[in-house]
Amino acid sequence: MQCFRLQVGNNVVVTGAHSIPAGGSIQPTSAALPLVVGLHGGGYDHRYFDALPGYSAKDLSVALGVPFVSIDRPSYGGTTSVLPIPANSDFTEESAKVLNQSILPGIWNSFGLANRCSCMIILAHSFGVMSAIATAALHAGHVNPGYPLGGSY
């Protein structure tokens, strides 16, 4: 997977890695081509999805011809921190706000639109699930969210 560092909206930086295959053995149409975004768990970073040869999301990404982006969640790796947390909030809520308002629209603009994807799917692991669910809830409440969310798993 190829590492990246993106400056996205609201002075937010997101780091991660991507696999953008030229085409796989299964050729999805652009009408059904998701951009899969991996959110790691608590003690990890974006490399969780590209741990070792033979244990990488890249293998399935290439085989299926589906773009995969693994990001460092807010406050992890090189991605902008959400600290300090306001008194009336918590880490999950602040992470979801940054993901929904800046990071995921930036990922969509850089990787989804460029590869003619139809929607974004969030694939979350462990502690990343809380941020994914909160992000999906915020997305559902927006009229113009900045990215088409197809699901969160």
Query: What pLDDT is attached to residue 31?
Result: 67
Query: What pLDDT is attached to residue 152?
Result: 82
Could you report the average pLDDT of every consecutive run of 10 residues in the chain (153 residues)?
93 96 61 92 93 90 94 96 96 96 96 94 95 95 89 84
Q: Domain limits at 105? A: 2-152
Query: What pLDDT is attached to residue 53?
Result: 85
In this prediction the pTM is 0.91
Query: What pLDDT is attached to residue 52?
Result: 87
CATH of the domain at 63: 3.40.50.1820
Which two three-digit tokens encode residue 144? 């113009």
Query: What pLDDT is attached to residue 23?
Result: 57
The whole-angstrom separation of Cα 134 and Cα 114 is 26
Per the structure, the count of domains in the chain is 1
User: For the purposes of burial, counting CB atoms within 10 Å of the CB of 140, is it exposed (0-12), middle (13-18) or buried (19 or more)?
Assistant: exposed
